[in-house]
Amino acid sequence: MGLLLLLTYTFVSSYVLLGTEVDAQRSFTIRRISLSIEPSTNVTRGTDVTVRCKAIISSSGSEPLSREYTVYKGSKTVYTKNSSTSEDLLYPLPEARATNSGKYMCKIKMGDKEMKSEVEKLTVTGLSKPVLHLDKGVVTEGEKIVATCTAPGETGSMFFYFYDGYKLIHEKFDNSNQLQYNFSISSVGIHSIHCLYIVFIMPDTAKSERSNTVTVSVKELAITPVMEIHPPSNIFEGDQLNISCTVRNSHSSFERINLYLSQGTHLLSSGNTEVNRRLTAEANRPGDFECRLETGNIEKVVNQTVSVTELFSAPIVTMSPAEIFQKDNMTLTCKSERYAFERLTGSELTYSLEPPQTPLTQTSPGVFSGKALQYEFNYTCVAEAKGIRKHSETLTVRPKVSVSTPEISLIGSAVQGESFKILCQSHTGSLPINYTLLKNGKVEDTFIVRRPFEQAYFTIMVTSPDEIGSYTCEAKNRHREGQYSKRLHGTVIVPLNNLNVVVNPNNSRVYEGQELLLLCGVKGTPPITFKWHHNGNKLKTNTSNVSFMSYHIESLTKDDSGTYQCEASNQANRVLRSEMITIEVYMAVWKQALIWGIALLVVIVLVVVCVLYFKSKRENVAKAAVSVWSERPPEAENFVHMLPAANDEVSSVVSSEADVEYTEVVHSQPVDPAKAPLRKGTDTVYSELKNSPQGAADHRDHGSVEYAEFNGEQPEYNHFSPEVNNYQDLPVPVD
């Protein structure tokens, strides 16, 4: 038998390995894989659902290849199967439930190839109706009840909810389709209990319908708390109250009993079977009392309200006068407006002030007098009778401070003819303070300072510096007498006017080397700033406490010529400018005399040089006269006729070379343009005059030469022959 099993195993293994080897050698491709949900993607609860996974594969052989199918719900694997057939993979969901709802996907894997289908969503609607069961239908207060809620045929994660009527009494999560809950009911009466559940279908939820309703009858527990108050009525403040809290119908079958006695939110006392408390009735404390019984989970409460009549009202404290100043007499009155005549007489009600160290003394019941302190103080009145003390609201007395003597002062600069501000201020004094501006005792303006750091400013204008001393101010707070300041003192700035400039020397001509003084004067309040300008450029700036300023030049030069201007300003911020002063600096007299002297000397030197020059020329002419004039060539005669000074005297000269007379003639004549070019300047022209052999009387001083000097343009004779135009051979003129 063992041998047979071994042979069978060997045969099967060989077949599988052979099949695997054959699959590995065959070629194939996964063409498509699809997933479908049958009969529909939307079904009702209890429907048989099938998830079908279909693959289309192409291979080289006729035998189907082995493959592995995996079905996913969301990201979770819900089914896996290996198959060697080409049949579709079927994943059954019999009697589908809501928990089967979700997104499904199929994957196929063959060798090293795999493919996934598209996602399909299945929705299963409808949940089974939950079933509620209670172990008891009639119970007493606090008795335990066991409730079981079941979701038939449902699976998955669920939340169960239990209701008493519409009131949710319990909720809990569980992974099963059934939940058990133990509870008790403390209120007497008929109660209707039901349940429901919610199934989690990620990411959604599905809610079931309500279960069947089970009725529970709760009977009252015989044990009850009892509270008694003495006296029960007509209670006044100060009366003693006796309060007790006990248990009725108590027996050993009950669990531990606890009693609590409270007044309002204040717990007065606690115990097991009986609680007692004694206290004094007060009208200002709540009159609501409570006796509470607790045993297990049962609570029973009884309440009672006590009305307490006020013995006397809380006192009210008032001050007279309503407004006081430091160290003034003051009175505080402390009274209770109401009190119970049937229980209390006026003499039984006493008053006092707190704190005890108050400086006021009691002059009559509820009346306290004294002087006000120099600082604020809190007073409280206390009314007391039959052990009852009542306090008034705190009265804060703030004594006012009398205003101090005010000070009046300028704000900024005071300029004559312009508005400026003055300040009236008292360093101490309670607000509000009335400030009044007075001029020569007459009211000019009023300002009320109502807030801290506020100041009284007044705007005034004066027409003369002396007018500022006529102002004073008064400070007053409430009914107190006013305090007066001293007179206003301050400097009134007079704007500048009447700007004049004086020049020394004041003549119209100044010369180099002279001293120049410019004096600028103005009327107005110093300090005054003077600025000098020369040709528009600033020269000098000075601030002076006097009304004038000078500009001094010790020795003038030509550079000092030009225009001068003075500019003046003071704290009134008004700038005055003078007219332009023109200064022309002439050359120094000694320079002029020196120039003229040098010029005259040059002239004299030139004259001497010319005289000496002409003397030397004259001597040379005398020496050469015999040779030069022995014969007169025809050209010379023509030259004589060409001279501008062609007069009868020259033309009648006898041609005798023994006696020659030269005359220097100075003419200024126009030149014939047809003749030789002219020569500019002063030329000396020599005219030859021959004495007649007879020694005619027309020509005296034989043997002398006369020079005629022509000024202006004269003809040049350079075009003639050298013999005629060479003046070096002429005789030297004789004076």
For position 118, which CATH number holds?
A: 2.60.40.10
> Are residues 474 and 319 in contact, defined by beta-carbon separation less than 8 angstroms?
no
Please indicate, yes or no, whether residues 713 and 616 belong to a single structural domain of this protein: yes
Query: In terms of domains, do 660 and 574 share one?
Result: no
**C-alpha–C-alpha distance, residues 106 and 114, integer Å:** 11
Q: Which of 309, 333, 351 is the last residue in one of the domains?
A: 309
Pairing of strands 120-125, 42-44: parallel
CA distance 125 to 101: 8
Instruction: Give the count of beta carbons closer than 10 Å to the beta carbon of residue 440.
Output: 10
Cα 74–chain centre separation:
58
Closest CA to 33 of 63, 80, 73, 69: 69
Q: Both 114 and 43 in a single domain?
A: yes
Contact 216, 147 (CB under 8 A): no
Q: Report whether 185 contacts 193 (CB < 8 A).
A: no
User: What's the pLDDT at 638?
Assistant: 43
Residue 200 lies in a domain: yes
Q: Please, what is the Cα angle at 567 between 565 and 573, to 5 degrees? A: 160
Phi, psi (deg, nearest 5) at residue 167 = -95, 125
Cα–Cα distance for residue pair 536/323, rounded to 1 Å: 71
Residue 443 and residue 512 in one domain: no
Strand partners, 52: 36, 90
Residue 110 lies in a domain: yes
- Are 573 and 633 contained in the same domain? no
Q: Does residue 16 belong to any structural domain of this protein?
A: no
Residue 358 lies in a domain: yes
Domain boundary among 189, 219, 249: 219
**What residues of the chain score a pLDDT lower than 50?**
1-22, 626-735
Determine, yes or no, domain membership for 379.
Answer: yes
Q: Are residues 704 and 608 in the same domain?
A: yes
Strand order from edge to edge, sheet including 660-665: 683-684, 705-710, 660-665, 687-690
Distances (CA, A) of 155 to 133, 178, 709: 20, 10, 159
**The pLDDT of residue 520:** 94
**Do β-strands 308-309 and 235-236 pair in parallel, antiparallel, or remain unpaired?**
parallel
> Residue 525: CA atoms inside 13 Å, Cβ hemisphere, count?
16
Residues 673 and 571 in one domain: no
So what's the pLDDT on residue 133?
A: 96
Phi, psi (deg, nearest 5) at residue 439: -125, 115
Same domain, 205 and 246: no
In a domain, 595, yes or no: no
What is the total count of domains within the chain?
7
Q: Are residues 654 and 689 in the same domain?
A: yes
Domain end (from 125, 144, 167): 125
Q: Domain check: are 609 and 643 in the same one?
A: yes
Containing structural domain, residue 279: 224-309
In a domain, 544, yes or no: yes
What does the buried/exposed string (b/e) look like for 310-328 if buried means 16 or more CB atoms within 10 Å of the residue's CB?
bbbebbebebeeeebbeee
Which amino acid, residue 190? I
User: Is residue 7 domain-resident?
Assistant: no
555 and 617, same domain (yes or no): no
φ, ψ of residue 510 in degrees (nearest 5): -125, 150
Task: For residue 546, give both structure tokens.
Answer: 């006097």
DSSP state of 725: H
Give CA–CA dist 658/190, Å, rounded.
195
723 and 647 belong to one structural domain: yes
Reported pTM: 0.40
